[in-house]
């Protein structure tokens, strides 16, 4: 599979829709986050340099760069998710008592959980930032800002599913509960911030 950055939209959609294990839901979550982040960056691109928003120039310029970095991170996490799944899938094919599977299993499961959990955290950070933007960005792009928030919430909720689906493969009940709680907390945080963003953008 080519790197996510190198795929055309058509190639990405075709690969997602094919009967192949990767890219799958985890990659879809990461790319949805990247699209939401790019949409939010557009809002700032149309806000930086405006005289009526001059007092926010420094903070908006910093936010623009932060969103761009998070967008690149989200794409990288989509790729990491696919790579981690392939490792785990290879172990699944081995007998449960195979020494290699036994030795590698826990680490592989955690490696599969890490990218979607990190995607949740990126979405959380981005939603926190977006909630501060309605009052300091171009009001002509209010709908785009709302769309960005909605996409990030959806991406977080989607990534959380990719955390939860792997949790039964962990033996430690406390570890499962901790990871599930972290993902759920991020989803709820994004939901609340997105609601705030939509309300602010609708005024």
Domains, in order of start, for the chain: 22-201 (1.20.120.680)
pTM: 0.92
Q: What is the per-residue pLDDT across 4-45, written as a single tens digit (0 to 9) for each?
A: 777 778 888 888 888 887 888 889 999 999 999 999 999 999
Q: What is the per-residue pLDDT across 152-178, written as a single tens digit (0 to 9) for each?
A: 999 999 999 999 999 999 989 999 999
Give the span between the Cα atoms of 49 and 56, in whole angstroms.
Answer: 10
Would you say 33 and 122 are in contact if contact means Cβ atoms under 8 Å apart? Answer: yes
Q: Is 19 exposed, middle or buried (0-12, 13-18, 19+ CB in 10 A)?
A: exposed
Would you say 196 and 134 are in contact if contact means Cβ atoms under 8 Å apart? Answer: no
Residue 203, H or E segment: none
Q: Nearest-CA neighbor of 38 among 128, 132, 148?
A: 148
């Amino acid at each position: 599979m080519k790197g996510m950055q190198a795929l055309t939209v058509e190639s990405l959609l075709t690969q997602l829709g094919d009967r192949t294990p990767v890219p799958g839901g985890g990659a879809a979550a990461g790319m949805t986050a990247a699209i939401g982040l790019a949409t939010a960056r557009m809002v700032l691109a149309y806000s930086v340099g405006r005289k009526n928003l001059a007092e926010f120039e420094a903070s908006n310029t910093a936010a623009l760069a932060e969103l761009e970095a998070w967008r690149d991170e989200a794409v990288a996490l989509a790729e990491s998710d696919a790579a981690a799944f392939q490792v785990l899938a290879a172990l699944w094919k081995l007998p449960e008592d195979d020494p290699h599977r036994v030795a590698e299993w826990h680490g592989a499961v955690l490696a599969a959980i890490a990218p979607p959990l990190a995607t949740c955290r990126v979405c959380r950070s981005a939603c926190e930032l977006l909630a501060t933007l309605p009052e300091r960005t171009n009001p002509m792009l209010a709908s785009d800002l709302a769309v960005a928030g909605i996409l990030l919430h959806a991406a977080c909720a989607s990534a959380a599913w990719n955390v939860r689906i792997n949790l039964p493969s962990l033996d430690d009940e406390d570890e499962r509960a901790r990871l599930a709680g972290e993902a759920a907390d991020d989803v709820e945080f994004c939901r609340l911030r997105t609601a705030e963003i939509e309300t602010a953008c609708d005024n």
